[in-house]
Structure 1
């Protein structure tokens, strides 16, 4: 149905970036005013991160990174430097020891280490003191204006505590193997579908669903001083808990594959205020919004994982999905990501097949069974079945990824797929993205794996 478009809003704004010619090195590519912070090695590359400085003082949040492909020597760059507006003070009227004592006294804590001078970017850049305080609730990072002593910002620096919550895993249709469920089915029918889970990575010192990998932005966000979030689907807190758990578990799975920089941040999400039967990821705000029409979308983890798929790709390739073919790749990957995450917690049966995506959410707008938003085992082939509609055309891409998973196994397939996406462009074509995936398979697992990946894309007409 038209309203069920589970979409990704078009990216706005430019992308800062460049490519250095083959043979260039990170050291040669980096401009002045940078200090090396760390060098890391991924599956196929070397990544060097730099701290931006201004007159030798670190710029808060300013970074520069180089990513060198170990196969070709080509280096790409991410430039996160800030423009320094105005002229920050060269010396502090409010002394370092005054900033330290003021902050630690107010927080009733002790100094972790001596405060550091930083440049705070903004409409008018300022010189500040970065104070790290050890408190009963964990470390707190405070930035103090070095001119006036005013607090410019403050946040907890600890992000790894656990809580518990009640969720569907992935949804009641799958768990109960019951395609007759409806949004209006009596509450008691769902009792056996609920599961108590550990909520990991919660931010220490707060009582809301905020953590290292997910951040609840819903209005009237639920709170718990004991970090226990147990609700039923009749309560708004249930969808908020579903969002936190599903997003966090997806990121933890990604990291288990060896990737530490694939949307490795607190993904914002919202489960209230949008009454359409639809959901979307908006790259301009980096937020996922789930609709409450029909079955609330965030009651179905497969819908959550689909939207998180868009956030993954946007994090890997800023602005991804700017053409009809790359948009279709985005929708296809989102459906595949829902499938692969669900496959770890679901039973595949004829009545409720794993290849059917969103089978709980879809009961509100489909009449045939199994209820599916879309399937990933279709037979469409490019270009004959190309409709220039990203959701319909995405079914070709998701089928190719499904075949790759079948051929290589879940772990190897997802490692190849995620690695390949780093090399996509925002407006990539089917052919270019398919060839990049074949190349990643060759580099990671050899010729046999590459041949299987190539065969999957050839079967869909992409190469």
Structure 2
């Protein structure tokens, strides 16, 4: 998925004649010392290790759409800047020729036309959208096509839509759904039928509906949907799927497991759950995006994360992979590390850390819903297709491997790392362990080694919880002969 890139100040200033000079004075209500001119402080956030100041870019008093500037100040005083300002010509005329009422009418007409196209045969049921009170506001679009626009908010059967209407010509420049807080209903396995039913005898039977598997389904609330009638939301985007993406006018997605759309609901629910958990731990920038998924589109018994496209693909060989939440969580673990550390996995040991973390992330997310059933066993349901012994596990997080057992295969060597993480959780508890493990990831190098990543993890434990916790983490890595 496309992400807005951090742009250095010098690069932005070189794009055109804009007011991007630094301000070294401060007054009440103004930007703090050392921030550029033309910024409005809109939010101050406190994370685990620092404070974060977010600014709206402005031009001649008008907000610049999508223009931002952020200053991250660590507890040690270190400052990092994220500059997302757009260049705006200094002589841009910001007066409006089109009245706000006309802009609102144009925006609503565009929204209504799209809603009718998406509604299918029952077009008469589509309600006319109504702009919210005071919805039309003047703003500026920066970049090569800089212009002044009316920013219009409308409501329709799609949800809440933001339209940008050229304030000189009245043409609709952009219109998109921005609502992200609609709840829906769905049915899922949680985390999978082997665990929820505590039954190792269950088998796939070529994706057939079965009474035992029907009993394993759980009705759930699907939070943070965007109101588009699809399984898209704040943290998940089902971009493509076998048989087409699921759609529902009333946001109800209840299917039995033989229906390919069941796996789409699994993906949406379990990714939303794990991202909400990450947020509760205090992190707001750990893959905090709508993650793209391609569901049941790979014929083999494999799932994978593609960093070149930021896409997670789930396979349908054997048990459909997305029927097992631990497969979903494992692949999301890769997306997390790629998001936090661009290009992560450049060395064999970094790749093994990625696999080990993925297994650990699958298991730690199972803790609240597994009732303690065979927790260290990874992917209990998916593994029924390719394992004969019980319990059915792809891998385990409680193995006995140390660095003496390194064989150069990332999945094998990942068991060394996942065991260390599991031991940390057993000693410190789930929330503390997950928090320090995620925090440490921010300091990894793309080609990190076991020892270097372990030292980062020890340091995170020390900064977050003190010397005793750091020693506990050290001991876990020493037991695997990593430190």
Band of TM-score, shorter chain: 0.7 to 0.9
Corresponding residue for residue 21 of structure 1: none
CA distance, structure 2, for counterparts of residue 289 and residue 88 of structure 1: 48
Corresponding residue for residue 7 of structure 1: none
Corresponding residue for residue 249 of structure 1: 273
Q: Indicate the SS of the match to 1:273.
A: strand
Return 5+ residue gaps in structure 1 as ranges.
1-10, 19-25
CA distance, structure 1, for counterparts of residue 346 and residue 61 of structure 2: 39
Corresponding residue for residue 149 of structure 1: 170
CA distance, structure 1, for counterparts of residue 356 and residue 283 of structure 2: 21
Corresponding residue for residue 191 of structure 2: 170
Corresponding residue for residue 211 of structure 2: 188
- 1:412 matched to 2:432? The reply is yes
Corresponding residue for residue 4 of structure 1: none
CA distance, structure 1, for counterparts of residue 35 and residue 342 of structure 2: 21
Shift of 1:456: 0.9
Q: Is the 8 A contact 2:104 2:131 kept in 1?
A: no
- 1:217 matched to 2:217? The reply is no
Shift of 1:57: 5.4
User: Mapping of 1:274-313 within 5 angstroms?
Assistant: 274-313=298-337
CA 127–282 in structure 1, closer or farther in 2 if over 3 Å, else same: farther
Return 5+ residue gaps in structure 2 as ranges.
9-30, 113-127
CA distance, structure 2, for counterparts of residue 28 and residue 437 of structure 1: 34
RMSD between aligned residues: 3.0
CA 393–129 in structure 1, closer or farther in 2 if over 3 Å, else same: farther
Q: Is the 8 A contact 2:4 2:84 kept in 1?
A: no
Corresponding residue for residue 202 of structure 1: 225
Task: Pick one of 275, 289, 296 that aligns with 1:265.
Answer: 289
Shift of 1:335: 0.7
Q: Which has the higher contact order (CA 8 A, sep 6+)?
A: 1
Corresponding residue for residue 6 of structure 1: none
- 1:400 matched to 2:420? The reply is yes
Q: Is the 8 A contact 1:96 1:129 kept in 2?
A: no
Corresponding residue for residue 39 of structure 1: 44
Shift of 1:249: 0.7
Shift of 1:13: 12
CA distance, structure 2, for counterparts of residue 285 and residue 452 of structure 1: 38
Corresponding residue for residue 431 of structure 1: 451
CA distance, structure 2, for counterparts of residue 124 and residue 36 of structure 1: 26
- 1:117 matched to 2:139? The reply is yes
CA distance, structure 1, for counterparts of residue 392 and residue 272 of structure 2: 26
Shift of 1:346: 0.6
Query: Residues 238-260 of structure 1, C-alpha deviation per residue, up to 9 Å, x if partnerless?
Result: 00000001101111111222222
Q: Indicate the SS of the match to 1:271.
A: strand
CA distance, structure 2, for counterparts of residue 362 and residue 52 of structure 1: 51
Q: Indicate the SS of the match to 1:38.
A: strand
CA 27–284 in structure 1, closer or farther in 2 if over 3 Å, else same: farther
Task: Pick one of 379, 387, 409 that aligns with 1:358.
Answer: 379
Shift of 1:460: 1.8
Query: Residues 407-447 of structure 1, C-alpha deviation per residue, up to 9 Å, x if partnerless?
Result: 00111111211222222233333222222221221222222
CA 117–362 in structure 1, closer or farther in 2 if over 3 Å, else same: same
CA 175–196 in structure 1, closer or farther in 2 if over 3 Å, else same: same
CA 27–426 in structure 1, closer or farther in 2 if over 3 Å, else same: farther
CA 460–62 in structure 1, closer or farther in 2 if over 3 Å, else same: farther
Corresponding residue for residue 444 of structure 1: 464
CA distance, structure 2, for counterparts of residue 283 and residue 125 of structure 1: 32
Corresponding residue for residue 93 of structure 2: 90
Range 390-399 or range 89-98, more displaced: 89-98
Range 408-417 or range 317-326, more displaced: 317-326
Corresponding residue for residue 359 of structure 2: 335
- Rg larger for: 2
CA 163–12 in structure 1, closer or farther in 2 if over 3 Å, else same: closer
Corresponding residue for residue 478 of structure 2: 458
CA distance, structure 2, for counterparts of residue 29 and residue 16 of structure 1: 18
Range 249-258 or range 152-161, more displaced: 152-161
CA distance, structure 2, for counterparts of residue 249 and residue 101 of structure 1: 39
CA 356–81 in structure 1, closer or farther in 2 if over 3 Å, else same: farther
- Count of aligned pairs: 438
CA distance, structure 2, for counterparts of residue 127 and residue 284 of structure 1: 35
CA distance, structure 1, for counterparts of residue 3 and residue 218 of structure 2: 42
Q: Indicate the SS of the match to 2:458.
A: helix
Q: Is the 8 A contact 1:109 1:136 kept in 2?
A: no
Q: Indicate the SS of the match to 2:288.
A: coil
Q: Indicate the SS of the match to 2:331.
A: helix
- 1:64 matched to 2:69? The reply is yes
CA 16–389 in structure 1, closer or farther in 2 if over 3 Å, else same: farther
